[in-house]
Structure 1
Amino acid sequence: MDFRTIVPIKNQSPKIDYEAKISLFGSCFVENIGDKLQYYKFRVIQNPFGIIFNPLALLQLFQRIDENYEYSEKDIFQLNNQCSCFDVHSQMNHSDRSEMIYNLNNTLASTRAFLQESSHVIITLGTSWGYILNSDNRLVANCHKVAQSNFSKKIFSAEEIKESLTEISKIIWKLNPKAKVIFTVSPVRHLKDGFVENQRSKANLISGLHSYREEMKLKFDKKTTYFPSYEIVMDELRDYRFYGKDMIHLSEIAIDYVWDKFKEAWIDAKVYPIMKEINTIQKGLSHRPFDETSPKHREFLDKLQLKIKKLQDKNPTIKF
């Protein structure tokens, strides 16, 4: 007897190998996949502007990338000795205004360059809810702890979600016609919005995304695909033991499970032996000895560096 339902995972292409370049954007869940790809030393750019939960806020960033936008003083505000920008996550904040403007423009340029060479673009949708800045009626990517009285909360419709994904895809393919776009919906619940509100939000994301993909099938059938991370967690791992202490974010076991499904669908089996070797090296690099100065530990490090050199000689794209 089988006591659970299994979400079928289709074999996908083009496969991810060590020649691939992967761009990842969106909610915190995309970082779970991105962290695994980085751990195994694939070439990755991951949320260069920080976590962006709402697809319409993500579209605004893609529009900045597309138009070669140049950030300036007008885009920056200061609060509690920190400079911030409503386009990006607070991880981009800086105490120095000039330095922050430089970082924003440098990140914009490097993201554009990486996108132009990316074989795969992974986008995870987090929420349909967004916050509108009352002073100029625009959607912000992050409120940066500005008083909530300055914003109006809005849920975006499935149609608005669909339109934003259409525009994001157009920009990606304008920059890079060969990129494969992988969409997924984050299984992380946004319970601060409320239980019912979270369900409404996910429903709009799912409906908008699949409506978009149905249209794409008529035009670009092989250029987009959907990875069912939301369904895997909701249907296969529907138990609180697969969540962290906050009962919202996924546990390490759940992340590993979803990663294994992603690996099965997307990673070229030919590179599994390389991934296994990298895992051994990573564990060696994270090892903390009792005595760092001992001859035995120095010998261990020398052997580890030799392993790294041999691996990199065979696979020049792998960097430690």
Structure 2
Amino acid sequence: MNFRTNLQLKPERNQIDYDSKILLFGSCFSENISKKLAYFKFNTGSNPFGILFNPIAIERLITNAINLKEYTESDIFQLNERWHCFDAHSDISAIEKNELLLNLNNEISTTHKQLSEASHIVITLGTAWVYRFIENDTIVGNCHKVPQKKFLKELLSTQEITASLDNISTLIKSINSNVTIIFTVSPVRHLSDGFVENAQSKAHLLTAIHEITDIKNQLYYFPSFEIMLDDLRDYRFYAKDMIHPNEIAVDYIWEQFKKAWINENTALVMKDVETVQKGLAHKPFNPASKQHQQFLNNLKLKKNKLFEHYQIQF
């Protein structure tokens, strides 16, 4: 008897290899995948403005990066002795005003370059619920603990999300016509919005993504949401908060991502990279022993081989 409903993913076109340049935007799930890619030494960048959960915030970042917007004092504000920007996560906030502006503008410049050169862009949407700052009628990427009375909470319609994702795709393709864009929905439930409200939000995101996915135009969908909720669907795969996927779940979804998006030859190279990574993390009992010196020499040979063939640096 089969006690699981296992998703069977097929290899996609335009798969990732060690010549690929990968850029990720969106929720904390993007961070999880980015860490995996970085561990295996792929050329990857992630969330230049920190974690962003809603499509409007991601669209604004991409729009500003493509247009090389220059952030000024009018775009930031001070609260609780720190300077913040509504377009960015609080991780980007700074004590000094000029430091924040410098960081924002440096990231805009870097992201513009990455968008124009990327072979693959992964966009993870977390929620369709957004907060509109009443003072300037603008949807924010992060509220930075500004009093809630200064915002209106709204649920983006399917049509609004579809339009935003279409804008994102069109903007990126305007400077990088050959890029492959992979959309996914975060499996993390936003239960602070409410159980029913979270389900409605995810439904809007899923519907909108499927409205715009088009293999001919290199716009794809990866089912991380379905893998978590329909394949794993057991609380043993959740962290202590019973909301976020635990390490086992992240590893499993990563394996599914590999099946779909990383070609077989590259997967073999990844095994060699992992061998070196584990070797670098090894803590010897006796660093001066001949055995350990031989181990280090073998590790060096493996590193040199990976650099020679794939320009992989450790």
TM-score (norm 2): 0.95
For 2:284 and 2:174, locate their aligned partners in 1 and report how far apart those are by CA, in whole Å: 51
Task: Identify the residue that residue 278 of structure 2 maps to in structure 1.
Answer: 283
Q: 2: CA distance between counterparts of 1:290 and 1:149?
A: 59
* Alignment-derived partner of residue 58 in structure 2: 58
Task: Tell me, yes or no, if structure 1 residue 234 matches structure 2 residue 229.
Answer: yes
Aligned residue identity for 1:6:
N
1:72-87 equivalence runs, <5 A = 72-87=72-87
How far residue 293 of structure 1 moved from its aligned partner, in angstroms, is 6.2
Structure 1: 4+ residue segments shifted above 2 A: 287-307
The alpha-carbon deviation at position 298 of structure 1 amounts to 5.2
- Partner residue, 1:146: 146
Q: Which residue in the other structure is 1:252 paired with?
A: 247
List per-residue Cα deviations over 1:55-109 (Å, max 9, x = no partner): 0111111111121100111111112221111001111111121121111111111
Q: Structure 1 residues 96 and 305, CA, compared in 2 at 3 Å: closer, same or farther?
A: farther
Identity over the aligned pairs, expressed in percent? 49
Which residue is 1:3 aligned to? 3
In the alignment, is residue 313 of structure 1 matched against residue 313 of structure 2? no
Aligned to 2:41: 41
User: Equivalent residue for 2:96?
Assistant: 96
1:200-239 correspondence runs (5 A): 200-213=200-213, 217=214, 221-239=216-234
Residue 22 of structure 1, CA deviation: 0.7
Secondary structure of 2:216's aligned partner? coil
The answer on 1:261 being equivalent to 2:261 is no
Contact 2:212 2:219 in 1 (8 A): no
Distance apart, 1:294 and its partner CA? 6.1
CA-CA distance at 1:296 after TM superposition = 5.3
Once the 2 structures are TM-superposed, how far is the Cα of residue 307 of structure 1 from its aligned partner?
Answer: 2.3
Residues 303 and 313 of structure 2 are in contact (CA less than 8 Å); yes or no, is this contact kept in structure 1? no
Aligned residue for 1:221, secondary structure, equals: helix
Kindly state the Cα deviation for residue 295 of structure 1 after the two structures are TM-superposed. Answer: 6.3
- SS at the partner of 1:144? coil
Post-superposition Cα deviations, 1:131-190, rounded to whole Å, max 9, x if no partner, equal: 111111111100112221221111111110100000000111011000011111111100
The alpha-carbon deviation at position 302 of structure 1 amounts to: 4.3
> Aligned pair count?
314
Q: For residue 71 of structure 2, what is the amino acid of its counterpart?
A: Y
Task: Output the CA distance in 2 between the equivalents of 1:293 and 1:136.
Answer: 64
SS across alignment from 2:98: helix
**Distance 1:303-1:94 versus aligned 2 partners, 3 A rule:** farther
| 1:32 to partner: Cα distance | 1.5
C-alpha change, 1:147 and 1:302, in structure 2 (3 Å) is farther
Q: Taking structure 1 as the reference length, what is the TM-score of the superposition? A: 0.94
Aligned CA RMSD, in angstroms, stands at: 1.6
* Of 248, 265, 268, the match for 1:270: 265
